[in-house]
A and B are shown apart, each in its own frame.
Chain A
Amino acid sequence: MERSEFQKKLIGLALAEGFSDCEAYYRENRHFEVMVLEGEISDYENSGLRGVAFRGTFAGRTGYAYTERMEEEDISYLVRSAKENAVLLPESERERLYAPEEAGGCWEKINPHLEQLTAEEKVQAAKRMEAAALQGADQVVSMDYCVLGTDWTETAIQNSLGLDVCCRRNMVTAYVCAIAKAGDEVKTGAHFWKGQDWHSFDPAATGKQAAQMAASHLGAGGMASGRYGVVLEGRVMASFLRVFAPVFYGETVQKGFSLLEGKKDEKIAADCVSLRDDPLLETGYVYAPFDSEGVPCRNKSVIEKGVLKTFLYNLKSAEKDGIPSTGNGFKAGLTSPVKTAVTNFYLEPGKRSREELLAELGSGLLITDITGLHAGANTVSGDFSLSAEGFLVEKGKQSRPVEQITVAGNFYELLENILEVGSDLYFAGNGTGSPSVRVREMSVAGE
């Protein structure tokens, strides 16, 4: 069945069966991906997935159900199943639905050129990326990964309170990870390109960057333990923001798992720190005119010049705090309930380049990669202890590579200790971004 018809029939049946309100969330994703190794296709994926998640209030309780098939019979299945689930749950966990001020609309963000690309053109681009990576540095021996993927995604939500919105978008993602060797030492370097404008994608440049990054880390040694002035590259700071984003969620604060509780309008970071969540960034890797509850999304300042301006809310957490949702109610997939999430979540860039930040640092450490964030970071206390890689900074310049070190600190303190934010804003594929930042001091464990 066509999705809009399915949604309308589903809502109609649910109301007739005693639901007081309800919502039909539709998502479709068409994904194509090719992996190339040694000039040949090594793996290939072609998929089309769609489905509907239903949510509604029955007897004052919220029930969920989902389906990946959209036939007539599946409508009654959803209603029956959600009803059965609802009655088991306590009334206190009821979730309210969005009552829109305007009917909604459709955001069409499809680049038609991407839809006309043939599989062969995509395969060729992946092969060029690999070839360029192999030639990009003498020490590069092979690829760990060389993938080109395209996605076409539609999200469409209707509810019984008059909501009817949809958004379609397509995207290319190219990702290459090169392996460089010198003697027994092995290093990898990864680079990706993501966007809608195929003509601005240069596969050779992407491959070459990965190769150079891998090679640049060869010859790494340890360094003495101690406290050092540090520059965190944008990708490292973006990783921190991703992992600690939940401390800014109203939901987390209400459960008592964020130390930012009660700190709205207070200074929580250095003056140079301004943090935004911008779902409407046209060139962003994420684009969300509305969230998974249909609430309109907007560009907002989370931290402005060091001051915490707002927490991020979905409808349920916003209701608890007696304010409107910020449009951050997202679900991870059809089967998951609505939680909170960030979109294009980034530190606003400053004026000076990474090189100028290094020159200002004089001597210390440039951190280019961290690993182990999921086990080594405590989102409740903010403490982290992570394995890191990077370069020594001497006389204001990047010098030899460093490995086998761990950096330890605390996220809340990190925000206060940022001395300067660079101009080189970097976005990770998930939408989190940051320029390079210079940090007063971090504790490094090495030799």
Chain B
Amino acid sequence: MLKKSVVENTLTAALETGADFAELYVEETRRNQIGMVNGAVETALGGLDYGAGLRLFFGNRVIYAFTNDTTEENLIRLAKETAATTKGAKLYALQELHRKYCRGVNPIAMYPNGVEKAKKAEYLAAASAAAFAYDSRISQTRTGFLDVTKDVLVANSLGVWAEEQRVRSRFTVEAVASSASEKQSGHQGPGGSVGFELLRQIDVEEEARKAAKTAVTMLSAKPCPAGRMPVVIDNGFGGVIFHEACGHGLEATAVARNASVFAGKLGQEIASPLVTAIDDGTIPNGWGSANMDDEGTPTRRNVLIENGVLKSYLIDKMNGRKMGMEPTGSARRENYRFAPTSRMTNTFLAPGTSTPEEIIGATRLGLYAKQMGGGSVDPATGAFNFAVLEAYMIRNGQICEPVRGATLIGKGAETLWKIDMVGNNLKRAQGMCGSISGSIPTDVGQPMIRVSEMTVGGRG
């Protein structure tokens, strides 16, 4: 995207006042978005995001600047202005830039940028029709398709020159069911680091029916009873609790500041021995997968927790420096307007040996949380609060009546100890994760798990 000489001259200018590390990140992103309401197009947007971010390290201090005027003249001016905030003599010279070999973890069959929007709209209309056809109580649908094609270059003063193209696509469907006095909704949002082929790999009509089923089921559900009880959390998006309440605490962003309950616990038992948690940025076509992170470090499979023992954090360059540890290929950012920091990629609990039937069958009275909704976590304590969008009571080892308005309350570190059954049906689901370096695509995931006791909130 930029000539090598422009990058070299910018990094050299940035090192003038004694920075010990300088990095240039350049991005060109094309995005297309279509949104339908009740099967008619409501929004059709598209555009090109383009810009460069320059990051300098002076010891443990970071300075970040960004621009979307990437002429050599402007980049050098920006580098000089940014360096000038520190007064010092030049300490390090730019090392020769070497192009890195790029693996292909995300093969793309049909580049979505080349596919006509009208074609994408056909799938959305079909999904909307399928949701309406599922049940007469479906009163509204929203369907959408988003595709992003991002070209990234990372070059730094240590000689790294790494480039890749990242493509991702996502389909979303929301169905609303209405009765005389109530409205309930259900949604699905499958996606990946894939092209337009996503819409052929998944069955959009089946996804729409799943969303409609949740909405209709919850319409007739009774309020959830409150109290402490065993909770079975289903596979897929159920992993959002681990992501929010534990995953963020394993990011170096929190650990380096000692703002995590997991700080200083490497090698210690922090969870039930049934728990193995992995963050893997190399899963082929995974929503959070890439060949390299946003510092140019190759992504990898990081085992975070193995049989209950804390094995690794997610580490970026600057926090690694503060902690005295190596980066783990986990530095990510939304775009050039953000400095990168340690983030999750595709994070999931590894499968165990129990079948879903065994887990439900072994539960006398409890809650089956089939589909999780949003929630919030206090990062300092790991205390979480999540809504359950679709839930059922378990009675005598059987899934019984649906219940609505359930919330799950607990603390991440404590809940990890209470996982007493882990299923064999691992599944991942897609989400957008917001944190200090912006909003990025991440997969959450888990097999069905059982938490022996959890506080369930409800009005019943």
Q: Chain B 61-83 against A: per-residue CB contact (8 Å), 1 yes, 0 no?
A: 00111111100001000100110
Whether A48 contacts B74 in the complex (CB less than 8 A), given A41-B85, A67-B50, comes out as: yes
Q: List the A residue with the shortest CB-CB distance to B82.
A: A46
Give the distance to chain B from A153, nearest Cβ to Cβ, in Å: 15
Interface residues of A in 185-238 (CB under 8 A from B): none
Question: Is A81 on the interface with B (CB-CB < 8 A)?
Answer: yes
User: Given A41-B85, A119-B81: A69 and B117 within 8 A (CB)?
Assistant: no
- Count the A-B residue pairs with Cβ separation under 8 angstroms: how many? 86
Residue of chain A at shortest CB distance from B74? A48
Using known A-B contacts A48-B67, A65-B46, A81-B46, determine if residue A89 contacts B41 with beta carbons closer than 8 Å.
Answer: yes
Contact among A45, A66, A89, A119 with B48 in the assembled complex (CB-CB below 8 Å): A66
Is B64 in contact with A68, judged by CB distance below 8 angstroms?
Answer: no
For chain B, what secondary structure do more than half of its interface residues adopt (helix, strand, loop), or is it mixed?
A: strand
A68 to B69, CA, bound (A): 9
B67: A residues at CB distance < 8 A: 47-49
Instruction: For the complex, give the distance between the alpha carbons of A48 and B40 in Å.
Output: 38
Considering the complex, give the chain B residue whose CB is closest to the CB of A84: B117
Given that A46-B81, A67-B50, A74-B48 are known contacts, is A88 also in contact with B118, CB under 8 Å in the complex? Answer: yes
Which residues of B sit under 8 angstroms from A81, Cβ to Cβ?
32, 46-47
- A87 contacts which chain B residues (CB < 8 A)? 118
Cβ distance B362 to chain A, nearest Cβ, rounded Å? 41
Check: A85 CB closer than 8 A to any chain B CB: yes
In the assembled complex, the CB of A57 is this many whole angstroms from the nearest CB of chain B, namely 14
**What count of chain B residues pass the 8 Å CB interface test?**
31
Residue among A51, A67, A68, A84 with max Cβ neighbours from chain B (10 Å): A68
Counting CB contacts under 8 A, is A322 at the interface? no
Q: How long is the Cα–Cα vector from A11 to B118 in the complex, in angstroms?
A: 25
The answer to the question of B109 belonging to the interface, with a C-beta cut-off of 8 Å to chain A, is no
Contact (A88, B44) CB under 8 Å given A41-B85, A51-B68, A69-B68: yes
Q: Which of A34, A44, A68 is close to B50, meaning CB atoms less than 8 Å apart?
A: A68
Q: Which residues on A sit within 8 Å (CB–CB) of B48?
A: 66-69, 74, 77
Residues of A within 8 A of B69 (CB): 48, 50
Asked if B84 is at the interface (CB within 8 A of a chain A CB), the reply is: yes
Q: Are A84 and B50 in contact (CB under 8 A)?
A: no
Q: Are B68 and A49 in contact (CB under 8 A)?
A: yes
Are B41 and A50 in contact, CB atoms less than 8 angstroms apart? no
* Minimum C-beta distance from A316 to chain B (A): 15
Task: Point out the residues of chain B lying under 8 angstroms from A68, CB to CB.
Answer: 47-51, 68
Given A88-B41, A90-B41: A46 in contact with B78 (beta carbons within 8 A): yes
Q: Is B45 an interface residue (CB 8 A)?
A: yes
Which residue of the partner chain A has the closest CB to B78?
Answer: A46
- Whether B118 contacts A69 by the Cβ 8 Å rule is no
Q: Which residue of A lies closest to B47 (CB)?
A: A66
Chain A residues, CB < 8 A from B81: 46, 119
> B28 in the interface, Cβ–Cβ < 8 Å?
yes
Q: How many angstroms between the C-alpha atoms of A47 and B64 in the bound complex?
A: 9
A401 within 8 A of B: no
Q: Does B182 contact A (CB under 8 A)?
A: no
The CA of A74 and the CA of B47, in the complex, are separated in Å by: 10
Q: Give chain B residues whose Cβ lies under 8 Å from the Cβ of A67.
A: 47-48, 50
| Shortest distance between the CB of B260 and any CB in chain A (Å) | 21
Cα separation A49 to B68 with both chains bound (whole Å): 5
A47-B66, A48-B68 known; A65+B85 contact, CB < 8 A: no
A48 engages B78 (CB within 8 Å): yes
Q: Which residues of A contact B65 (CB under 8 A)?
A: 45-47
Cβ of A289 within 8 Å of any chain B Cβ, yes or no, is no
Does B34 count as interface, using CB distance less than 8 angstroms?
yes
A interface with B by C-beta (< 8 Å)? 34, 41, 44-51, 63-69, 74, 77, 81, 84-90, 119, 123, 334-335
- For the complex of A and B, the 10 pairs showing the least CB-CB separation, nearest first, are A69-B50, A66-B47, A85-B44, A46-B65, A48-B67, A67-B48, A68-B50, A88-B41, A81-B46, A88-B44
Measured CB to CB, the residues of B under 8 A from A are 28, 32, 34, 40-41, 44-51, 63-69, 74, 78, 81-82, 84-85, 116-118, 121, 337
For the complex with contacts A44-B85, A66-B47, 9 further pairs of A-B residues with Cβ separation under 8 Å are A49-B51, A65-B45, A74-B48, A81-B47, A84-B118, A85-B44, A88-B41, A123-B85, A335-B45
22 contacts between A and B (CB under 8 A): A34-B85, A44-B82, A44-B85, A45-B64, A46-B65, A46-B78, A46-B82, A47-B66, A47-B67, A48-B67, A48-B68, A49-B66, A49-B67, A65-B46, A67-B48, A69-B48, A81-B46, A85-B46, A85-B117, A88-B34, A88-B41, A119-B81
